Structure 1
Amino acid sequence: MSEAVQRRRLAVPTVSMLPRAGDSLSFLYLDIVRVEQDDTGVCAVVETPERGREVVYLPTAALSCVLLGPGTSITAPAQATLGRHGTTVVTTGSGGVRCYASSVPGSLTTKWLEIQARAWAGEESRLAVATRMYEKRFGESGLASSEVSLARLRGLEGARMKALYRTLAKHHRIARFRRSYNPADFDDQDPVNKALSSASACLYGIVHATVNALGCSAGLGFIHEGNQQAFVYDIADLYKAELTIPLAFSLHASTDPEGEARRHFRQKLHLFRLMPRIVRDIQEVLRPDGVEEEDTGLRTKVVDLWDPVVGSVPGATNYAGDLDDDE
């Protein structure tokens, strides 16, 4: 083998070199900018009479999610680059509140989608996954083997959230608090509700990005259903009591609760290492019998062929020889 060929082979990236979903940065919120692709990369462009044209390049390969707020436009080449890098693009309302639409980057494998679909399709398996999700919320195990019904678990979860709201309101000396969200009257709501909506929107975007990166379906929920983000809501609810709700109450006196909620939440993501937790929790609730260390949604083969006997056989292979064997 020539030296030139050896150098080319060493330069070819392997699966282990590719970025993992759990190692990605969290999210980037943009508004009133134009996102485009130039010869260097994807950039956000702002033009003002005072400062002229300002360009900021985006770390697309390391971003999990880009939230596009009002006044934002994106070109097709920029969207394609973000999709190739596995970055989810979410179109949101002002301040990142409400998710209107999102792109789904391609995944190199459907393994976790198949595991999710099988668990969702069976009544017993779906109940088992939903119960494991409640176990993670409550911080205790063994509910799956008990006689506690799903309706009982929903009631316990509701009581837990009421107690949490009451405790945080008392701690921050808020006389009366009621969780409400009215898009038509959002500006007249109190700072806690504004901050909670803003932080929740960011959390949904991050979870959605992780779900897409693993190749799962955002619409196949186990507790929630009837919405294209049902599974996103399932997973996001695992972290609200720890992250978004205490953060929102701490901003009860803020004059900019939406903006501060996004900035503080981004800081907390580094502290709690949320992205690796989301990856691990999705895998654990879908397959509690153990997750292989190298199983991160990235594989060297492009596609398999389904086989009813052995499960799957390698793709990109000509099986014409099998006809001769049968004859």
Structure 2
Amino acid sequence: MTAPPAHPGRRRLAAPTVAMLPRFADSLSFLYLDVVRVMQDDTGVLAEVTSDRRGTETVYLPTAALSCVLLGPGTSITARALATLARHGTTVVVTGSGGVRCYAATQPASLTTVWLERQARSWADDDRRLAVATAMYERRFGSNTVPPGTSLAQLRGMEGQRVKAQYRLLAQQYKIGRFRRTYDPAQWDTQDPVNLALSSANTCLYGIVHAAVLALGCSPALGYVHNGNQQAFIYDIADLYKAELTIPLAFSLNASTNPETEARRSFRDRLRLFRLLPRIVHDIQTLLHPDGDHEAPDPEEELVDLWDPVSGALPGGTNHGAAL
């Protein structure tokens, strides 16, 4: 018996041009696209790809179920399709290959502000901001490794010693002598291969973190450890992963003749978007709301609330004249 043909909606566009990421606890779903044309027809939003082997294929996108669409290289999108995604509350992010780097993004008006409000409240309160900053450092050292009452200054010192020890260990492993981290844009081409590779890999990491922050609706500027920069929160979150991801990669390229390009390619190939992005989202949610669930309200059901310092959130779209 011949098997029935696959439903068009189940076809892969051209591996790995489409990668659907798993649904997280807060109902965030991510879709990564590259080398496709995204457009709108009478049925819905579709992705169209043309190849010599398979001709032109189309796949309809589940716009109502998507929280974030990441558009990689070679992707074009029509105004009608973009408007439909916006109506469904989908964040659209323009990224590099594999989701590495973040160039631009649109956040729909219907995107929930739950995580932004949690971020802003903890950032504006010095005690809560200190608690989040401390939790960020503790995540780098491991659970139950920081003595109670450790100050932020002591944590910064501990982190500095930890990174120096890692540099020293990797330098011995790759037999490159003493290593010193330098970052000087004015003398970029004179830096050694490890520093060049590390700067390049960190830039890729910032892009992935940026995409996750935007998809949650958080502000990239409200940092807890870093401050005074539009990317402050990006740097905070990225620092959680450098010792595991970018630093070892940079040292492995110590003999490379083109460390910047190889770092970007290796980071993209070794660390696909679907492996890191869910982890970043979970870590941000845990830092901002450590004692609660990570469920966000359904934007289809959520109305604009009114703020009240005594009663809390009050329903919008209601005449409150009777309360006087």
Alpha-carbon offset, residue 299 of structure 1: 6.0
Q: Return the match for 2:202 from 191, 200, 203.
A: 200
Superimposed CA distance per residue, residues 54-89 of structure 1 (whole angstroms, 9 cap, x where no aligned partner)? x9x999979765578xxx999994987887741333
Note closer, same or farther for the CA distance 1:214–1:160 as it changes in structure 2 (3 Å cut): same
Further displaced range: 178-187 or 218-227: 178-187
Partner of 1:239: 241
- The residue type equivalent to 2:243 in the other structure is A
Higher relative contact order (Cα pairs below 8 Å, separated by 6+ residues): 1
Show the 5 A alignment for 1:170-181.
170-181=172-183
Contact 1:21 1:213 in 2 (8 A): no
- SS for the counterpart of 1:311 is coil
Further displaced range: 197-206 or 181-190: 181-190
Partner of 1:87: 92
Partner of 2:15: none
Partner of 2:321: 323
CA distance in 2, matches of 1:183, 1:43: 41
2:117 is equivalent to residue 117 of structure 1: no
Note closer, same or farther for the CA distance 1:276–1:119 as it changes in structure 2 (3 Å cut): same
Superimposed CA distance per residue, residues 253-297 of structure 1 (whole angstroms, 9 cap, x where no aligned partner)? 2233223222322233349821111111111111211324x3388
- SS for the counterpart of 1:225 is coil
CA distance in 2, matches of 1:295, 1:156: 35
Alpha-carbon offset, residue 132 of structure 1: 0.3
Note closer, same or farther for the CA distance 1:250–1:270 as it changes in structure 2 (3 Å cut): same
Alpha-carbon offset, residue 219 of structure 1: 0.7
Contact 2:135 2:287 in 1 (8 A): yes
Alpha-carbon offset, residue 228 of structure 1: 0.5
Alpha-carbon offset, residue 117 of structure 1: 1.0
CA distance in 1, matches of 2:189, 2:39: 35
2:265 is equivalent to residue 267 of structure 1: no
Partner of 2:30: 24
Q: Return the match for 1:136 from 123, 139, 142.
A: 139
Alpha-carbon offset, residue 173 of structure 1: 1.6
TM-score (norm 1): 0.70
Contact 1:224 1:233 in 2 (8 A): yes
Alpha-carbon offset, residue 123 of structure 1: 1.2
Alpha-carbon offset, residue 110 of structure 1: 0.8
Question: Whose helix fraction is larger, Structure 1's or Structure 2's?
Answer: 1
Aligned-residue Cα RMSD (Å) equals: 4.2
- SS for the counterpart of 1:273 is helix
Partner of 1:168: 170
- The residue type equivalent to 2:120 in the other structure is A
Contact 1:88 1:209 in 2 (8 A): yes
CA distance in 1, matches of 2:184, 2:226: 20
Note closer, same or farther for the CA distance 1:297–1:268 as it changes in structure 2 (3 Å cut): farther
Superimposed CA distance per residue, residues 142-174 of structure 1 (whole angstroms, 9 cap, x where no aligned partner)? 74x712111110011011111111111111121
Superimposed CA distance per residue, residues 107-158 of structure 1 (whole angstroms, 9 cap, x where no aligned partner)? 6111111111111111111111100000101112374x71211111001101
CA distance in 1, matches of 2:190, 2:31: 33
Note closer, same or farther for the CA distance 1:296–1:313 as it changes in structure 2 (3 Å cut): closer
Note closer, same or farther for the CA distance 1:217–1:158 as it changes in structure 2 (3 Å cut): same
Alpha-carbon offset, residue 230 of structure 1: 0.4
- The residue type equivalent to 1:209 in the other structure is A
- The residue type equivalent to 1:128 in the other structure is A
2:257 is equivalent to residue 255 of structure 1: yes
Partner of 1:311: 312
- SS for the counterpart of 2:129 is helix
Partner of 2:6: none
Contact 1:67 1:205 in 2 (8 A): no
- The residue type equivalent to 1:250 in the other structure is S
CA distance in 1, matches of 2:155, 2:138: 9
Show the 5 A alignment for 1:21-60.
23-24=29-30
Sequence identity, in percent? 52
Alignment gaps of 5+ in structure 1: 1-15, 45-54
TM-score (norm 2): 0.71
Alignment gaps of 5+ in structure 2: 1-21, 50-55
Note closer, same or farther for the CA distance 1:166–1:272 as it changes in structure 2 (3 Å cut): farther
Contact 1:119 1:286 in 2 (8 A): yes
Superimposed CA distance per residue, residues 11-33 of structure 1 (whole angstroms, 9 cap, x where no aligned partner)? xxxxx9999786536797x9xxx
Aligned length: 287
